[in-house]
């Protein structure tokens, strides 16, 4: 049964929004109408063993629109078995990789954001022994006495910081970047990234990089207080929390894994629609970016600059974000064509076409590497454009079933509460009420129209980062 597309409160100034906007966490109204092909579930109830979305190493790095681990754990347990290979072409903060490892599966992670290469070595820490807090404190003390300096290769860096705060951050990063790249250094780096944002002029309550009057005033007030002491306290507290999270991770993997370690390969800074997945996989588990996908690079570029990446690198990645690149084909399905016809603005049609072109290209590229009868688990919401609901799960189901995939089921997980931000005007103030997990099953006759992809190998003309790898599977 087709779910009717509802257009209401049409506004010609409608904008795409990645993050809900408001001021406080709010309840999402219930809606009793559920299409007959949709199964209403609560993944938090289905996976009660995970009672904290930030457990173990999941919360070490801040990242927008994170894939909650309960959904990933459910898909892994339901659609894969131990030692299976899982592919995630939109890896984001690496939730699929961490959960695959914890469940004794293997994973291939790809993402346009270079931050993935910095996130995964810490989230999948390979050490066997607990870390020592005294060693962390000694390194933090040495950092305060350092006279090294590091300024990011970012022409606007002074725009985002008060001069005295920038001087201290530059000193701390100068020390870290001139210290052996050990685990304690990596812990402090992760904490510094959060401190960078908190003590900048950007509005740290929202993922976007944007100055606000509230934050400008907050920094001015802070500078009249003991700001250096507060900065150091925050850095020490975050570093200590990360160390303890890693110790929990060491204990957990030592107890539950023994010698049966999975393998997680990760490739940050690659276009998952344009490179070949390096192996045949047993399942796909992913959450494609929302329609305003530019937010992912914009919300993490401060991190990327402090981690040593250049403006040229960041700008090149931004140009490849969905949907801010031209489509190389027009995706057509019954539902998508209906949405396209309802739109009155050409710019919104173009963005819609770009989004589905490059999202489908990336999905199809990875799904081509799945074994016969493998499951593709795709988690997406139903955003609105110009007042029109876009059922992403249905559009993807229509596209792939027309090419031989079997529609198995779709789960609806209603959002109970969400963090709403009030920093800017929002054309979709209620946000999304539900998100959906679409399950497709690969048949032997599945067809593809995705473009041919380049191998995921080093190329002299357009070099890709070497794969970063967690422990290899050596159980045999």
pLDDT for the residue 171: 97
Q: Which residue has the tokens 């050490």?
A: 127
Which of 328, 392, 309 has its CA nearest to residue 90?
392
Residue by residue, DSSP assigns 12-66 as: TT----SS-BSSS-EEPPP-----TTEEEE-HHHH-TT---TTTTTTTSS--TTP
pLDDT for the residue 6: 28
Q: How many CB atoms lie within 10 A of CB 162?
A: 18
Which of 15, 20, 5 has its CA nearest to residue 347?
15
Domain 26-116+263-469 has CATH 3.40.50.150: yes
Angle (nearest 5°) at CA 336 between 333 and 342: 135
Distance CA 301, CA 239 (A): 21
CB within 8 A of 123, min separation 6: which ones?
A: 57, 58, 60, 61, 93, 94, 97, 98
* The two three-digit tokens of residue 265, written as one number: 């390969």
Give the three-state DSSP class for 329. Answer: coil
Residue by residue, DSSP assigns 391-428 as: -HHHHHHHHHHTTTPEEEEEEEEE--EE--B-SS--S-
pLDDT for the residue 452: 56
> What torsion do the CA atoms of 129, 134, 139, 145 make, to the nearest 10 degrees?
180
Contact 327, 296 (CB under 8 A): no
Contact 283, 408 (CB under 8 A): no
Q: Which residue has the tokens 């910081």?
A: 161
Total residues belonging to the chain: 476
CA distances from 345 to 13, 25, 85, 245, 395 (A): 10, 32, 43, 48, 20
**What element of type H or E holds 229?**
helix 227-256
Report residue 286: phi and psi, to 5°. Answer: -160, 165
Contact 61, 123 (CB under 8 A): yes
pLDDT for the residue 431: 57
pLDDT for the residue 258: 64
Burial of 70 (0-12, 13-18, 19+ CB in 10 A): buried
Contacts 24+ apart (CB under 8 A), 325-333: 325/354, 325/358, 326/354, 327/353, 327/354, 327/356, 327/357, 327/358, 328/357, 328/361, 328/451, 329/357, 329/449, 330/357, 331/356, 331/357, 331/360, 331/395, 331/399, 333/395, 333/398, 333/399, 333/402
Q: What is the mean pLDDT of each run of 10 residues along the chain (476 residues)?
A: 31 29 38 71 94 94 90 97 96 96 96 96 93 97 95 95 98 95 94 96 84 94 96 98 97 80 92 92 95 78 96 93 88 97 93 95 96 97 91 97 96 70 47 86 73 50 40 33
Contact 97, 296 (CB under 8 A): no
pLDDT for the residue 59: 94
Instruction: Kindly provide the residue ranges of all beta strands, DSSP E only, lying in 204-301, ordered along the sequence.
Output: 264-268, 281-286
Which of 155, 240, 150 has its CA nearest to residue 196?
150
Contact 281, 370 (CB under 8 A): yes
Map out the domains of the chain as residue ranges. 26-116+263-469, 133-250
Q: Which residue has the tokens 């063993």?
A: 49
Report residue 191: phi and psi, to 5°. Answer: -70, -40
**What element of type H or E holds 195?**
helix 183-198
pLDDT for the residue 35: 66
């Amino acid at each position: 049964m087709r779910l009717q597309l509802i257009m209401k409160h049409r506004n010609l100034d409608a904008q795409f929004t990645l993050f809900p906007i408001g001021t406080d966490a709010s309840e999402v109204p219930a809606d009793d109408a559920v299409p007959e092909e949709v199964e209403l579930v609560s993944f938090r109830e289905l996976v009660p063993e995970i009672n904290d979305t930030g457990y173990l190493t999941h919360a070490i790095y801040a990242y927008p629109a994170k894939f909650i681990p309960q959904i990933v754990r459910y898909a892994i347990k339901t659609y894969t078995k131990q030692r299976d290979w899982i592919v995630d072409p939109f890896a984001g903060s690496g939730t699929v990789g961490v959960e695959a490892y914890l469940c004794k599966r293997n994973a291939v992670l790809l993402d346009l954001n270079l931050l993935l290469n910095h996130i995964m070595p810490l989230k999948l820490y390979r050490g066997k022994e607990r870390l020592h807090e005294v060693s962390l404190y000694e390194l933090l003390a040495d950092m305060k006495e350092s006279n090294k300096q590091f300024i990011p290769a970012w022409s606007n860096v002074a725009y985002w910081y008060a001069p005295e705060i920038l001087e201290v951050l530059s000193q701390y990063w100068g020390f870290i970047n001139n210290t052996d790249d050990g685990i304690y250094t990596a812990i402090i780096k992760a904490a510094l990234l959060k401190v960078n944002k908190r003590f900048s002029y950007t509005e740290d309550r929202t993922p976007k990089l944007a100055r606000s009057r509230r934050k400008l005033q907050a920094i001015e007030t802070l500078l009249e207080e003991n700001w250096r002491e507060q900065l150091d306290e925050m850095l020490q507290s975050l570093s200590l929390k990360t160390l303890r999270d890693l110790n929990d991770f060491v204990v957990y993997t030592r107890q539950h894994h023994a010698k049966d370690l999975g393998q997680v390969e990760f490739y940050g800074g690659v276009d998952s629609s344009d490179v070949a997945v390096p192996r045949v996989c047993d399942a796909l588990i992913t959450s494609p970016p929302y329609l305003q996908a530019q937010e992912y690079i914009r919300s993490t570029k401060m991190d990327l600059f402090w981690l040593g990446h250049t403006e040229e690198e960041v700008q090149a990645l931004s140009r490849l974000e969905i949907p801010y690149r031209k489509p190389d084909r027009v995706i057509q399905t019954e539902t998508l064509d209906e949405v396209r016809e309802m739109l009155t603005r050409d710019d919104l049609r173009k963005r819609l076409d770009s989004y589905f072109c490059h999202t489908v290209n990336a999905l199809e590229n990875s799904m081509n590497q799945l074994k016969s009868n493998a499951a593709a688990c795709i988690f997406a919401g139903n955003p609105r454009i110009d007042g029109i609901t876009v059922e992403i799960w249905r559009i993807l189901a229509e596209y792939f079933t027309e090419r031989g995939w079997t529609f198995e089921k779709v789960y609806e997980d209603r959002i109970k509460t969400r963090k709403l931000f009030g920093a800017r005007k929002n054309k979709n103030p209620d946000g999304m009420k539900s998100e959906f997990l679409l399950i497709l099953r690969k048949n032997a006759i599945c067809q593809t129209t995705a473009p041919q992809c380049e191998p995921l190998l080093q190329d002299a003309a357009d070099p890709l980062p070497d794969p970063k790898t967690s422990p290899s599977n050596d159980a045999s």
